[in-house]
Structure 1
Amino acid sequence: MLTKRIIPCLDVTNGRVVKGVNFIDLQDVGDPVAIAKAYNEQGADELVFLDITATSDDRDTMIDVVERTAAEVFIPLTVGGGIRTVSDMKKMLQAGADKISLNSAAIQQPELIQAGAEKFGSQCIVVAIDAKREGDSWHVFAKGGREDTGLDAIQWAKRAGTLGAGEILLTSMDADGTKNGYDLALNQAICQAVTVPVIASGGCGSAEDIIDVFEQTKASGALAASIFHYGEVKIPELKEVLEQVGMVVRR
């Protein structure tokens, strides 16, 4: 059985970690460097750092915050938001990122996925998909969830994997921030459609939600924000619970 990964997410804007519901009503949570350091010490397997307004504001990711965050963590760090070129990817990797998350730019320029994979290796390229149910399918949204691209999420995930993405970071916009659990149907549909690892994101409200997404889908990682930011679930205790139900975790 593959090791399941626990991944806190830091949504950052204006140099601060924020959290919202359904991608709106953002509330300040704290300093990204201090929060990242705490998660590293708690035993998180990886961290995801998303500059959530870089694309919509048409600016670059905050390299100084990435550098300071990377200096405090010794686990894989994925950075996304405002990354539009291979040169941008290189800057983030040089700043201390281990992986690059592409979202809107990959939708606009799918060839960017392939170019990044060829330059840095597929293991460095994560394609983030913000998906929202529209009728009987899920659409891909861009620009921080502001723009419906009309793309089918399952087909886009397949294409991203074919182009060289080493991983899919899948966020359910419907579940985001609700704490009502992951969108299991969405996650399983994507997991079955691709051959690369999938990180489930959006809706986690408890340890039981993480157990559910691991037991009922093939997701290899569970990303969460609120439950970790507000201390509702502690990572060491969570891993104990996961072990008790027979899952393999890194201790």
Structure 2
Amino acid sequence: MLKHRVIPALLLREGGLVKTRKFGKHKYIGDPLNAIRIFNEKEVDELVLLDIDASRQGREPDYELIESVAAECFMPLGYGGGISTVEQARRIFSIGVEKVILQTSALENSGLIRELAERFGSQSIVVSIDVKRDWFGRYRMRSSAKGYAKSLNWIAVMQKLVAAGAGEVLLNAVDRDGMRMGYDLRLIQLAAEAVDVPLIALGGASGISDFALAINAGASAVAAGSFFVLQGSHRAVLITYPEYADLEKFLR
């Protein structure tokens, strides 16, 4: 077994899967259930499913679709998007999801993280931190629901949410989303030094060697989108996952 998880991160929009570049330029990937079946065959470690419109549109999660995905999924599943109450989280857990991922509601009310952790355990609560560089190259937290970079100390916010009870951090480098240019290793290092919970690095993976670099920078696990669903210079849709032996060479 690998010491570090390698996690496909799938983006859900209007019932289908899409892939973005720097959180824009949405490319349709296909039906989520078909992708899940392929990842089942590949014996994927874990899966993340993010509804990128739910919080922005102010609506609840699509429970029917999530239940269909959870029923088909043979690996641990984390879901994020539109979760703003304890009852919504409870319902998602009840249909077979192992982890809930929060950003918008957590930024607005860190007390929700505390309530969820007390009710369901910190190990099942993940906070999503999106970070984007400004014109001066400085890191700024980005609000995925609001669609702009906020002038906040992202490290302090991340630490606050972890202190409230989040058991894991999903750290996404917005500037590298879909660009296949490698992870932002400095960003990973800063985050890893600031919190003592598992850190999942996301954004920029172009190959297995990038996974190793992210782990060496301080990530506990690595996630990717384009690497698992798009291939070649023309970004053709091809859902795949590396062979275990190939991953083992880099992630022992």
Question: TM-score, with normalisation over the residues of structure 2?
Answer: 0.92
After superposition, give the CA deviation of every residue in 1:178-235 in whole Å (9 maximum; x if it has no partner).
10011110011101110000000011122221122122x1211111111111367843
Residue type of the partner of 1:38? I
Structure 1 window deviating more from structure 2 (47-56 vs 87-96): it is: 87-96
The one-letter amino acid of 1:172's match is A
Is 2:47 the partner of 1:42? Answer: no
Say whether residues 1:177 and 2:183 are aligned partners. Answer: no
| Contact 2:130/2:144 (8 A) holds in 1 | no
Residues in 2 aligned to 1:203 and 1:244: alpha-carbon distance in whole angstroms: 20
Is contact 1:211–1:242 with CA below 8 Å preserved after alignment? no
- 2:198 matched to 1:193? no
Instruction: List gaps (5 residues or longer) in structure 2.
Output: 233-238
* Counterpart position of 1:69: 69
Q: Is the 8 A contact 1:33 1:65 kept in 2?
A: no
Q: 1:9 maps to what in 2?
A: 9
CA–CA separation in structure 2 for the residues paired with 1:145 and 1:76: 29
Partner of 1:209: 210
Question: Quick one: distance in 2 between partners of 1:20 and 1:161?
Answer: 28
8 Å CA contact 1:43–1:236 kept in 2: the answer is no
Match of 2:119 in 1: 119
Contact 1:182–1:203 (CA under 8 A) maintained in structure 2:
yes
Could you tell me the TM-score, scaled by structure 1's length?
0.92
SS at match of 1:9: strand
Contact map agreement 2:2 2:248 (CA 8 A) in 1: no
Give the drift of 1:153: 1.6
Map 1:209-228; keep pairs closer than 5 Å. Answer: 209-215=210-216, 217-228=217-228
Equivalent residue letter for 1:178: M
Aligned residues: 245
1:241 aligned onto 2:246: yes
Give SS of 2:44's match: coil
Output aligned runs, 1:19-58, within 5 Å: 19-58=19-58
State the secondary structure of the residue aligned to 1:132: strand
Give 1:242 shift.
3.1
Instruction: Name the CA distance, whole Å, in 1 between partners of 2:146 and 2:182.
Output: 19
Q: How much is the aligned-residue C-alpha RMSD, in angstroms?
A: 1.8
Q: Distance in 1 between matches of 2:197 and 2:39?
A: 26
Structure 1 stretch displaced more, 160-169 or 130-139: 130-139
1:98 matched residue in structure 2: 98
Deviation sequence 1:88-138 (CA, Å, 0-9, x none):
111111122110000011000111111100010001100001111234642
How far apart, in 2, do the equivalents of 1:153 and 1:41 lie?
A: 38
Measured in 2, the distance between the counterparts of 1:145 and 1:220 equals 29
CA distance in 2, matches of 1:83, 1:106: 9
